[in-house]
Amino acid sequence: MPSTQFNFKERYRYQNGFASYHESEAVEGALPVGANSPQKPPLGLYAEKLSGTAFTAPRHKNQQSWLYRILPSCGHSNFEARESSTFNTNPENKPWEEIHFIPNQLRWDPFDLDETVDWVHSLHLVAGAGDPTMKTGVGYFIYAAGKDMAANEAFYSADGDFLIVPQHGVLDIQTELGRLVVRPNEICVIPRGIRYRVTLPDGPVRGYILELYEGHFELPELGPIGSNCLANARDFQAPVADFDEDTNNSWTILAKFAGHLYAAKQDHTPFDVVAWHGLYYPYKYDLGRFNTMGSVSYDHPDPSIYTVLTCQSASPGTAIADFVIFPPRWLVAEDTFRPPWYHRNTMSEFMGLIHGQYDAKTGGGFQPAGASLHNVMSGHGPDASTHEKASNAELAPHKVGEGSMAFMFESCLMIGVTDWGLKKCQKVQEDYNAESWEPLKPHFKLKPGQKIDNGLKSIANGTEGDKAQVPHYT
């Protein structure tokens, strides 16, 4: 069921479809017909191409849009460094060198709201991998803001695509290609380079961001599931063209470039795109529309069945980043330990909670607005109390996650934690491991008369089988 609990009146129109070729004009006739850059575009507009992939990227990967605007985006002063302690993508020199790679399981208490800063200055890099200058890897951010961006300010990231996961409050996002309202239980993606301004119509906001330094998100393959289910393409919404005609006021363009903040001035609004067409645009999606699959017989399936969006690496089936959700769902599996199994994963798992309670962690320490990180090959699974309950539960059909939404950023990359994430935020739970798994008791018990038959013992006893393995070259 689509989310209804956030009763904010939606003001904007959208066009539906994932990876669809969209076109939109705020004034009829603003799009040229049958050409992209005629000698004189309609209505005296400038044509500007926005490339989200290399010109020569294969057709099925290629993402570009044509913008028809009052002035092109290049007319501005030089960019100058504009960093401060409130812009934290870990700005000391190279952010990606300040990252600590550690095997500990980590969990964070809820991150604080901060009413003193706007969107741009609310960005805190918690963890990540790779390097935006090499267009490799990911950055995981927490945002917490209480102020609108200044009236004549716009922001863009040259480093990657932002997948924004609101946990609290409403984001009103004016982008070059149109407007989006995004509420908790919805997500949006703002691709690299697109300029936008965030205002907060409903007070303070907080949430999570995955910045993808390489590639773009796509819908996961459905394999034997068939042609529908999980996130359906028609439920993704792109904005319609929406422009201002302001060529007199001073504007500041803020750029996140290699993890640093820069500012340039211009005397015209960046939100002057009267019409656009293409495949490169921001979009939103309501997580309440996810069509969840699950086991209707026995055993707990891999969480890949809950993937909303993925960005694949060159290795088949292996993601730079998967965005996975744990929506309310029925568990009906028979003779099954129903929560996630204990496991170690070659993929890293960063989790957050939008609201409610995550069914694998009922012990209380994983809270909305908090987070956890189970890195490459770091063991994890249900906490002791969840194990106890699930091993003894009556296996009637049972709905989990009612009113709840947990999510996971899963990556093939080893994830490092920033100084801010490890220390300065002061949210790391020192006793996460001790509280969750150390209370687990061994239940191992032989049945009466059962013998232990370890492999090494039989070799020592020199059994027939053992003799047969003596090499023949002696």
Ligand X SMILES: O=C(O)Cc1cc(O)ccc1O
Q: Phi and psi (nearest 5°) for 236? A: -85, 140
Choose which of 349, 353, 401, 412 interacts with ligand X (CB under 6 A).
349
**Residue 303 beta carbon to ligand X: minimum distance, rounded to whole angstroms:** 4
- Which residue's C-beta sits nearest to Fe ion? 349
**What kind and span of H or E run contains 69?**
strand 64-69
Q: Is 363 in the site for ligand X (CB under 6 A)?
A: no
Query: Cα-atom radius of gyration of the chain, to the nearest Å?
Result: 26
Give the alpha-carbon dihedral of 241, 216, 259, 155, to 10 degrees: 0
CB of 406 to Fe ion, least distance (A): 11
Nearer to Fe ion, 322 or 349 (CB): 349
User: What does the H/E/C string look like for 406-435?
Assistant: EEEEEECCCCEECHHHHHHCCCECCCHHHH
Catalytic residue among 121, 216, 374, 387: 374
Residue 2 or 379 having the CB closest to Fe ion: 379
Binding of ligand X by 340 (CB under 6 A): yes
CB 277 within 8 A of CB 24: yes
Q: Indicate if 398 belongs to the active site.
A: no
As measured in angstroms, the least distance from the Cβ of 408 to ligand X is 6
Q: For the window 118-137, what string marks contact with Fe ion as x by the rule CB under 5 A?
A: --------------------
CA dist 372 and 408 (Å) reads: 9
Among 380, 383, 387, 420, indicate the residue that binds ligand X (CB under 6 A).
380
Residue 88 vs 348, nearer CB to ligand X: 348
Q: Judged by CB under 5 A, which stretch of 200-208, 274-282, 345-353, 431-439 contacts Fe ion? A: 345-353
Q: Based on the shown chain and the rule CB under 6 A, indicate whether residue 376 belongs to the binding site for ligand X.
A: no
- CA 318 to chain CA mean position, Å: 16
Q: Which stretch binds Fe ion (CB under 5 A): 156-164, 190-198, 348-356, 453-461?
A: 348-356
Residue 338 interacting with ligand X (CB under 6 A):
no
Count other Cβ atoms within 10 Å, centred on residue 134: 10
Tokens at 278, concatenated? 């293409």
For Fe ion, which is the closer residue by CB, 269 or 348? 348
Number of neighbouring beta carbons within 10 Å of residue 301 = 11
Q: Does 349 bind Fe ion (CB under 5 A)?
A: yes
**What does the angle CA 277 – CA 281 – CA 287 come to, to the nearest 5 degrees?**
130
- Does residue 408 interact with ligand X by CB under 6 A? yes
- Look at residue 376 and give the partner it binds from Fe ion, ligand X, none, a contact being a CB closer than 5 to 8 Å depending on partner kind: none
Provide the total of helices (H) and of strands (E) in the chain, helices listed first: 5, 28
Residue count at the site for ligand X (CB under 6 A)? 6
Residue 321 makes contact with ligand X by CB under 6 A: no
Which residue number, 111 or 326, has a Cβ lying nearer to Fe ion?
326
Closest to ligand X by CB, 8 vs 330, is 330
Q: Please tell me the distance from the alpha carbon of residue 263 to that of residue 253, in angstroms, as a whole number.
A: 6
Given the residues 300, 388, 398, 435, the one annotated as active site: 300
Q: Give the one entry of Fe ion, ligand X, none that residue 67 binds, where binding means its C-beta sits below a cut-off of 5 to 8 angstroms depending on kind.
A: none
Residue 387 is a binding residue for ligand X (CB under 6 A): no
Active site residue 472: no
- Indicate which of ligand X, Fe ion, none lies near residue 110 (CB less than 5 to 8 Å, by partner kind): none
401 binds, among ligand X, Fe ion, none (CB under 5 to 8 A by kind): none
Q: Which range binds Fe ion by CB under 5 A, 270-278, 310-318, 346-354, 388-396? A: 346-354
**CB neighbour burial string for 356-383, b if at least 16 within 10 angstroms, e if fewer:** bbbbbbbeebbbbbbbbbbbbebebbbb
Q: Look up 380 and say whether it is catalytic.
A: yes
- What's the chain's length in residues? 474
CB under 5 A: which stretch of 142-150, 343-351, 420-428, 460-468 binds Fe ion? 343-351
The residue from 48, 176, 186, 349 that is catalytic is 349
Is 2 exposed, middle or buried, given 0-12, 13-18 or 19+ CB atoms closer than 10 A?
A: exposed
Q: Residue with structure tokens 């990540």? A: 128
Contacts of 70 (CB under 8 A, 6+ apart): 45, 46, 243, 245, 247, 268, 272, 274
The item of ligand X, Fe ion, none sharing an interface with residue 303, based on CB under 5 to 8 Å by kind, is: ligand X
For residues 339 and 7, what is the distance between their CA atoms, to the nearest angstrom?
A: 32
408 binds, among Fe ion, ligand X, none (CB under 5 to 8 A by kind): ligand X
DSSP state letters, 365-414: -S-TT-EEEE-TT--B-S-HHHHHHHHH---S-EEE-TT-EEEEEEESSP
360 binds, among Fe ion, ligand X, none (CB under 5 to 8 A by kind): ligand X
Decide if 328 contacts 402 (C-beta within 8 A): yes
Please identify which of the residues 277, 380, 387, 410 carries the catalytic annotation.
Answer: 380
Longest CA–CA span in the chain (Å) reads 94
The tokens describing 64, both together, are 């570009």
Q: Does 360 bind ligand X (CB under 6 A)?
A: yes
Residues that bind Fe ion (CB under 5 A): 349
Residue numbers annotated as active site = 300, 343, 349, 374, 380
Residues that bind ligand X (CB under 6 A): 303, 340, 349, 360, 380, 408
